[in-house]
Amino acid sequence: MTRFRLIIGSAMGAALCATSVFAQDSAPEDLLPPEPARVTEPLPDYTRDAPQPAAQPSVEESFDDIRMSSGEVVQQLPVLEREWTLAQAEKLLAFIPTVADEGLVPGDYRAEALAAAIAQGRGPALDAVASEIFIWLVEDLRDGRTPMDARRQWFVVDPDPDVLPSHRLLETAVETGDIAGTLRALNPVSPDYARLKEDLARTSDPAKRKLIRANMDRWRWLARDLGKQYLLANVPEYQLRLTVNDKIIKHYRVVVGKPGRTATPQLSEMVEAVIFNPTWTVPQSIVKGEGLGAKVLNNPGWARANNYTATKGANGWITVVQQPGPGNSLGLMKLDMPNPHAIFFHDTPAKSLFARDVRALSHGCIRVQGARELAMTMAMLGNAESREDLPAIQQEVSEITASGKYTRYPMEKQWPAYITYFTYGVDVNGELRQFDDIYGRDAPVLAALDAPRQDDRARETSEEAVEIVDDLQTS
């Protein structure tokens, strides 16, 4: 065995064929490409405690204390108003029309009120109007204009308001005088967003423009920068991308959740490990609701043939587990990415479903064509320090898979995984195209673009996590 850390369970079920399943599915040699320099507009790193220049207010000076009559501090609130010069306010006024290029509506940002305040000269009225407009622009460019209640089944929590807080951006803009630069730097850095922006500039059809704008806004619901390497599944496209340095290294067909209660939710999670030869703990909605528990207990021959084991507790509670094997509903692997929805990427024995054009067929989890190759790739990229490490990892994982034993293979370098919902964008072949709105999630977003801008928008959805019924084989 090599130096890589493993957690191996006891043998469960029949062993798999000893021949390496990765003989023809090995990862390409360019999985560890050199990292090209990414050119983006710089933003201050507000997450560090670097010393501030003498002329710039400190972090503490950017907050006001709320005090009780006793003098006790009960809360600190960020200061969202600054003193503006006329020149700075005029730069802000000139910036407002340019947000149309980003799919936003200039009319949302009170240009007339700002112009009137400029005409009155410096003072509290100008400071209040300019600061408020600037904060509105920050919120919409950084977080998206669509309110949370129009983002159906959107469980991603955007980190950008924490990394780039509004009060610090306001502070930076008025201290440096670079109003436009501070705001422009909030745009998503993904090349896919840039392609949408270019397409918006070329398109005159109102309906298409609105669809482009809606999907540009969806990019703002995510982190401004997704990172140098990540997995991204676009549910309406039925594709999973493995991306390194903005390049799709590999893409895979996927089966996603059926419309309705088992529709796949949108998530941003971390892949912590690869699980080879997984077990499947059957949900109670099937064990009890569909009578599987009683069937397994009363028909031991059928249970053995289908690799099920069952235990009945003193309280009558039945637990059913499908053991590892080629017929396991999760196939030969799954990516361990803990989340309250129990959503993950996994293999499946039902390979024929990948040939269909419409692949919204699962109970919520995402089945991946070529899952064994993906598992090998994740094991390599999650643990290799150099190309020299790759053959040893490949050999080790091949042996694990052939053993038939449940094995959790941790990833020292965890990968972010994004499950998204873009109905217009760049496909895996690099072409701009529209995807079917399989869950009907465009309508509330399009309506929100027509509605007045909302203040004080929630950062997290109030929707509850849907209990996913995992993945039985479905046709």
Say if 451 falls within a structural domain.
no
Q: Which of 167, 341, 363, 365 is catalytic?
A: 365
Domain shared by 65 and 164, yes or no: yes
Say if 188 falls within a structural domain.
yes
List pLDDT tens digits, range 136-150. Answer: 999 999 999 999 999
Domain shared by 32 and 88, yes or no: no
Say if 135 falls within a structural domain.
yes
Q: CA-CA distance, 410 to 378, in Å (whole number)?
A: 10
pLDDT of residue 283: 78
Q: Looking at this protein, which amino acid is placed at residue 378?
A: M
Domain shared by 165 and 249, yes or no: no
Which parts of 110-177 are beta strand (E)? none
Domain shared by 236 and 96, yes or no: no
Domain shared by 118 and 243, yes or no: no
Q: Which of 167, 251, 346, 363 is catalytic?
A: 346
Domain shared by 102 and 152, yes or no: yes
The closest alpha carbon to 134, from 89, 199, 87, 78, belongs to: 89
Q: CA-CA distance, 53 to 175, in Å (whole number)?
A: 11
Domain shared by 185 and 329, yes or no: no
Hey, is 37 helix, strand or coil?
coil
To the question of pTM greater than 0.85 for the whole model, the response is no
Domain shared by 241 and 364, yes or no: yes
Q: Which of 194, 216, 238 is the last residue of a domain?
A: 216
pLDDT of residue 279: 94
Say if 450 falls within a structural domain.
no
The helix-helix angle for 390-403 and 371-381 (nearest 10°) equals: 130
Catalytic residue at 17? no
Q: Report strand pairing: 229-234 vs 405-420.
A: parallel
Q: CA-CA distance, 410 to 429, in Å (whole number)?
A: 31
Alpha carbon of residue 345 to chain centroid? 14
Total domains in the chain come to: 2
Q: CA-CA distance, 453 to 144, in Å (whole number)?
A: 11
pLDDT of residue 285: 73
pLDDT of residue 196: 98
Q: Which of 216, 249, 268 is the last residue of a domain?
A: 216
Domain shared by 238 and 372, yes or no: yes
Element (H, E) at 256: strand 247-257
Contact in structure between 134 and 124 (CB atoms under 8 Å): no
Say if 181 falls within a structural domain.
yes
Determine the longest span between alpha carbons in the chain, in angstroms: 87
Element (H, E) at 234: strand 229-234
Question: In sequence order, what are the residues at sequence separation of 6 or more whose Cβ sits closer than 8 angstroms to the Cβ of residue 276?
Answer: 332, 333, 375, 397, 400, 401, 406, 407, 409
Q: CA-CA distance, 248 to 230, in Å (whole number)?
A: 10
DSSP class per residue in 75-109? EEEE-------HHHHHHHHHHGGGGGGGT--GGGG
Q: CA-CA distance, 31 to 48, in Å (whole number)?
A: 32
The helix-helix angle for 124-143 and 206-221 (nearest 10°) equals: 90
Cα torsion for 189, 194, 196, 202, to the nearest 10°?
160
In the numeric block, the tokens 């005090």 are attached to 67
Domain shared by 210 and 245, yes or no: no
Q: CA-CA distance, 378 to 240, in Å (whole number)?
A: 13
Q: CA-CA distance, 412 to 194, in Å (whole number)?
A: 32
The closest alpha carbon to 251, from 243, 263, 259, 260, belongs to: 243
Domain shared by 86 and 109, yes or no: yes
The closest alpha carbon to 318, from 342, 286, 341, belongs to: 286
List the chain pLDDT tens, one digit each, 475 residues: 333 433 333 322 222 222 233 333 434 445 554 444 444 455 555 444 333 333 333 333 344 444 445 556 555 668 789 999 999 999 999 999 999 999 999 999 999 999 999 999 999 999 999 999 999 999 999 999 999 999 999 999 999 999 999 999 999 999 999 999 999 999 999 999 999 999 999 999 999 999 999 999 999 999 999 999 999 999 999 999 999 999 999 999 999 999 998 899 999 999 999 999 999 888 787 888 888 999 999 999 999 999 999 998 888 899 999 999 888 999 999 999 999 888 999 999 999 999 999 999 998 899 999 999 999 999 999 999 999 999 999 999 999 999 999 999 999 999 999 999 999 999 999 999 999 999 999 999 999 999 999 988 888 888 876 655 444 443 3
Say if 381 falls within a structural domain.
yes
CATH number of the domain residue 335 falls in: 2.40.440.10
pLDDT of residue 375: 95
Say if 262 falls within a structural domain.
yes
List pLDDT tens digits, range 99-138. Answer: 999 999 999 999 999 999 999 999 999 999 999 999 999 9
Q: Looking at this protein, which amino acid is placed at residue 307?
A: N
Catalytic residue at 365? yes
Give whole-number Cα distances, 326 to 28, 320, 331, in Å: 25, 18, 6
pLDDT of residue 39: 43
Domain shared by 130 and 81, yes or no: yes
In the numeric block, the tokens 């249970």 are attached to 303
Q: Which of 192, 216, 240 is the last residue of a domain?
A: 216
Domain range for 23 is 7-38+226-279+323-434
Q: CA-CA distance, 42 to 172, in Å (whole number)?
A: 12
Say if 314 falls within a structural domain.
no
Contact in structure between 462 and 149 (CB atoms under 8 Å): yes
Cα R_g (the chain), whole angstroms: 26
CA atoms within a 13 Å half-sphere pointing along the CA-CB vector of 207: 2
